[in-house]
Structure 1
Amino acid sequence: MIRVFIVDDHVLIRDGLRTLLTDNPLFEVVGEAANGQELLDQLPNVAADVVLLDLNMPVLDGLATTHRLREEHPHLRILLLSMMTHERTIGEILAAGAHGYVLKNAAKHEVVAALQSVAAGQRFLCSEIGLGLLDKLLLLEPSQPKAAAGAGALLTHREREILQLVAAGLTNQQIADKLFTSRRTVESHRQNLLEKTGVSNTPALVKYAIEQGLL
């Protein structure tokens, strides 16, 4: 049995993950925490195999927590759970010592597969991330990127939706309500958009979208 400790600042997500794992005889949920510091405070008294760790959290986020875990609990396996899809973010967390990365919108069976792989000593990258990185590689010329007109193809369907709503002047909360998701998820997608397009603010993001014919 794989002993899993769940760390996420959203109660609903923790509840959903706990339900998913307790319904599977392969797993035992041995603890929960709302941030990295709560996890570190509990670990001396909890026997765990894998930490299922959110990236964006208050007090101590996923990246800082990963560094601490590798230093203080090197035997633990670490699986990151996030909405962030930018390769720089993923690279940082893997370089910090995480053993896997899976998106929060991944199918249940992929979360299960990720936990099994990481617990077995393997590394794991969810299919959407892997295919996205492959798409970027295929868009590259041998020596330089393709023309900027192809850059829009790097955006996911949901990122394009959010970009259109941003351009329409909607706030993060209004976008979240319209797409039936959380404001935190919208904020993560907006950050991904800024990183992918290389712009620094919303007006520049809208300008980019117009130039690329994405609106």
Structure 2
Amino acid sequence: MIRLFLADDHTIVRNGIRAMLAGEPDLVVVGEAIHGQELLEQLATTPADVVLLDVHMPVLDGLATTLRLHAEFPDVRVLVLTMLAQVQHIGQMFDAGARGYVLKSAEQSEMVAAVRAVAAGRQFLCSELGLAMLQRVRTLGHAPKDPDQRAGHLTAREKEVLQLLADGLTTNQIAARLFTSTRTVETHRQNILEKTQTKNTAALIRLAVIEGLLS
């Protein structure tokens, strides 16, 4: 029998989880808390195998609670149950000692599978987040590896023009600075836009800042 403790400041969420798990013969909810401090106090007298924990809670939030649980109740495994899908939250909770991370929008079958996996000592990430992170990795994997590649192999003169554009100079001013014609400067600018696949100068400057192409 897997003993579950629910920690969430919303009564309707706790009631919903109880109802969802009521038909599972190997799962039993042994306690509830509305914040981390209450959870820690009750765990001293109410043993549990898995804590279903929200991230945003009053008094003691999910991150601080997970750190305390990891230190004070190392045998209790944490399964995060939240609406927060941001990568930084996922990373923080796993770094703090959580074993699983599930969105509240997950299906009942996935929720139950997560509880059983975490109780068995395995890690678990819900499918919605797993697919999103896989897509992110694939996108990053197709990105060029260095600034010169991302910038489309700009020539030294094109990089010079780019820097002057970023400094706010007009085409005429750049032409005067580089002792060339305005047509040549405009040609360089158009080539830079094509190589970086940007639509206008503003987008080009944003890319240059992100990729560290400006001094």
TM-score bin (small chain): 0.5 to 0.7
* Secondary structure, aligned partner of 2:44: helix
Looking at CA atoms only, which structure, 1 or 2, has the larger radius of gyration?
2
Number of residues paired by the alignment? 147
Match of 1:106 in 2: 106
Residues 144 and 106 of structure 1: CA distance in aligned 2, closer, same or farther (over 3 Å): farther
CA offset digits 1:114-164 (Å, max 9, x no partner): 00000001000000111000111121215269x9xxxxxxxxxxxxxxxxx
CA offset digits 1:34-61 (Å, max 9, x no partner): 0101101101110110000011111111
Match of 2:131 in 1: 131
Q: How far apart, CA to CA, are the structure 2 residues paired with 1:88 and 1:95? A: 10
* Secondary structure, aligned partner of 1:74: coil
Match of 2:176 in 1: none
Correspondence 1:111-190 to 2 at 5 A: 111-140=111-140, 141-143=143-145
Match of 2:179 in 1: none
Residues 136 and 29 of structure 1: CA distance in aligned 2, closer, same or farther (over 3 Å): same
* Secondary structure, aligned partner of 2:66: helix
Q: How far apart, CA to CA, are the structure 2 residues paired with 1:22 and 1:125? A: 23
Residue 44 (1) aligns with residue 44 (2): yes
Residues 144 and 51 of structure 1: CA distance in aligned 2, closer, same or farther (over 3 Å): farther
Q: How far apart, CA to CA, are the structure 2 residues paired with 1:144 and 1:50? A: 44
Residues 34 and 5 of structure 1: CA distance in aligned 2, closer, same or farther (over 3 Å): same
* Structure 1 spans left out of the alignment, 5+ residues: 148-215
Q: How far apart, CA to CA, are the structure 2 residues paired with 1:28 and 1:144? A: 53
Match of 1:152 in 2: none
Q: How far apart, CA to CA, are the structure 1 residues paired with 2:50 and 2:69? A: 11
Residue 83 (1) aligns with residue 83 (2): yes
Which amino acid in the other structure matches residue 49 of structure 2?
D
Q: How far apart, CA to CA, are the structure 2 residues paired with 1:82 and 1:94? A: 14
Identity of aligned residues (%): 54
Q: How far apart, CA to CA, are the structure 1 residues paired with 2:38 and 2:107? A: 27
Runs in 1 of length 4+ with deviation above 4 angstroms?
Answer: none
* Structure 2 spans left out of the alignment, 5+ residues: 151-215
CA offset digits 1:70-129 (Å, max 9, x no partner): 010001011000111111110011000000000000001000000000000100000011
Residue 23 (1) aligns with residue 20 (2): no
Calculate the aligned-residue CA RMSD, in Å.
1.6
